Amino acid sequence: MQIAYTKEELRAGLQEARGKRIVFVPTMGALHAGHASLMRQARELAGEQGVVVSSIFLNPVQFDNAGDLAAYPQTPETDIAVCRECGVDVVFMPTPEMMYSADRSMVMEETHLSTVLCGASRPGHFAGVCLVVCKLFNLVQPTDAIFGKKDYQQLAILRRMVRDLDIPVVLHGAEIVREADGLALSSRNVRLLPEHRAAAPQISAALRAAAVAYAAGAAVEEVRGAVEHALKSIDGVRIDYVELVDAETLHAPVADDRMALLAVAAWFGDVRLIDNIELVRA
């Protein structure tokens, strides 16, 4: 496995891979079993002849809260070990100074999908996501890239970016990886207080119950309201949003013949957790 710390090292390391299938898994580090799942899927997709590339870069531009950035866990040695174990061929680990010029003046902004859900409460977040992913796509030039569905809105926005800007990469959405008690894996989970960690699986439990109700024909507002009520019953939790929207447009209304998305964001102390589930009528 090669570790590239500069753009020049990355380009040199991928020179012989041009013309092959290059599958890319971008991460911000603090890798867990969810990231490992993405990398293993990338290895399978690339096959023996293809190349798997992963980036480990804590992107400061997508953080709207300086405290959240400062508290984000960084475990580079462990991250490298995870990449090696999962069959990654090239790991790109740049610094912020390498990725962004001091006088940078280019921005990227999506104007529809990013106005709701996390985008409504995290101004500038998805502009930062689009900017860094576009830069990484330009550097790696992958044929494919894999993103987890836990960040469902992110995946939808990146699909729109790839479509609208004609970026030649196929995006793949990977299912959410969960703990045994249902909590969606996240690098932020390690920051949860014990009492919050014990309560957090109630999110996924409420989502699963909602999926059953929705499939049975329950009204949109009834389903959404039940999840909101369940979260409000958790001691000390602050709800950011509970929304039931069209899975593609991320906006209401939702037609019965289209897939819906039930998405949640809530604060457990100073840790913001997100989760979601795709819904279909039976």
How much is the pLDDT for 19? 95
How much is the pLDDT for 212? 98
Rounded average pLDDT over 86-109? 96
> Which residue among the candidates 35, 112, 172, 251 is catalytic per the annotation?
35
Is the model more confident about 167 or about 67? Answer: 167
Per-residue pLDDT of 7-50, as tens digits, reads 999 999 999 999 999 999 999 999 999 999 999 999 999 999 99
pLDDT of 65 higher than 90: no
Per-residue pLDDT of 119-136, as tens digits, reads 999 999 999 999 999 999
How much is the pLDDT for 217? 97
CATH tag, 187-274? 3.30.1300.10
pLDDT of 138 higher than 90: yes
How much is the pLDDT for 142? 98
35 is catalytic: yes
pLDDT of 175 higher than 90: yes
> Per-residue confidence at 64, pLDDT binned at 50, 70, 90?
confident
Domain 2-174 has CATH 3.40.50.720: no
How much is the pLDDT for 180? 97
Average pLDDT of the residues of the chain: 96
How much is the pLDDT for 34? 96
Vertex 8 angle, CA 7 and 10, to 5°: 65
Is the model more confident about 236 or about 97? Answer: 97
Least confident of 65-69, 163-167, 192-196: 65-69
Per-residue pLDDT of 211-267, as tens digits, reads 999 999 999 999 999 999 999 999 989 999 999 999 999 999 999 999 999 999 999
Domain ranges of the chain: 2-174, 187-274
pLDDT > 90 in the chain, percent: 97
How much is the pLDDT for 109? 93
